Structure 1
């Protein structure tokens, strides 16, 4: 994974940079349904001991899984100087051509056409992806490929 570039944080005493584009790739309804079903399994496991234990286990499981989903939800953000996709940050001066893909083209980008050296920030519940070439001569990563629900808005922010 590409390392974060220095200078991504705002200097102390100044206000943080307003993003031109910001998005969180929140899990879809299907992921939350799985969390709910797995949490309810806690009742089945501990109900023979006592219903109170089963309900407590379900609540604890739901909260733990919900926190894990929240903590692992990546942010896509474009500022005047940087692009963030998940935990990786790159200066916009190192970015080349950007393209959006959806449907079968997105499937091809995530699979058959994928370069093994590419930086990925993909979520299965988000179909569209954006591919951005990396122009940094010191970086072996050829491009970034990441999920986004609003690819055209993201491309517009990168073009500004």
Structure 2
């Protein structure tokens, strides 16, 4: 038997509460911007075509080597292109924040927000784009979210982020979208 006293019920509950607070809160919105499905067969067709070109002059077992070596390439490329993640989750203070890959933006710094439709995407990313803006754009995603910042310590005027469901992102942040 040990000489140490057993923890009381209150101490046990306090320890469990501390452990619970250490866990991150679940995200209220999460999105991963995968490449379109039709890109996969195109990627495999290009890899197969290149492997067939290499295969033409090799007899025997070496004939299959280009296929074995080249077919993982489109898988890696398309997964790498689909690495973009967008998440709205509570931060350490309990307020919502937008996380885009490794960047995060507390909602308290957002002055206003709007949805950039597909028809206005070219202008928003072209002649109207501020060079100091934070941009996470994926060309295969039609809509963007524009978040104008109100932070005197940050030179970034706004965030421009690709998303398939911009209204859901703004609702998860608790920001009324301006039209």
In structure 1, the partner of 2:69 is 57
3-state DSSP of counterpart to 2:27: coil
Q: 1:57-91 deviations in whole A, cap 9, x for unaligned? A: 23232343244234xx2111111332112321122
In structure 1, the partner of 2:152 is 137
- Higher RCO, 1 vs 2 (CA within 8 Å, ≥6 residues apart): 1
In structure 2, the partner of 1:7 is none
* Residue among 74, 85, 97 paired with 1:82: 97
How far does residue 38 in structure 1 lie from its aligned partner after superposition? 3.2
How far does residue 130 in structure 1 lie from its aligned partner after superposition? 0.4
Q: Structure 2: where are the runs of 5+ without partners?
A: 1-17, 91-95
Q: Structure 1: where are the runs of 5+ without partners?
A: 1-10
- Aligned residues, how many? 148
Higher mean Cα deviation, 45-54 or 18-27?
45-54
Structure 2: distance between partners of 1:53 and 1:145: 44
Given that 2:97 and 2:173 are in contact with CA atoms closer than 8 Å, whether structure 1 keeps it comes out as no
The change in CA–CA distance for 1:156 and 1:39 in structure 2 (over 3 A counts) is same
Structure 2: distance between partners of 1:110 and 1:33: 29
* Residue among 105, 113, 116 paired with 2:120: 105
Q: CA RMSD, aligned part only?
A: 2.2
- Normalized against structure 1, the TM-score is what? 0.80
* Residue among 26, 31, 40 paired with 2:39: 31
In structure 2, the partner of 1:5 is none
3-state DSSP of counterpart to 1:68: helix
- Normalized against structure 2, the TM-score is what? 0.72
How far does residue 142 in structure 1 lie from its aligned partner after superposition? 0.2
Given that 1:42 and 1:57 are in contact with CA atoms closer than 8 Å, whether structure 2 keeps it comes out as no
Runs of 4+ aligned structure 1 residues displaced above 4 Å come to none
3-state DSSP of counterpart to 2:132: coil
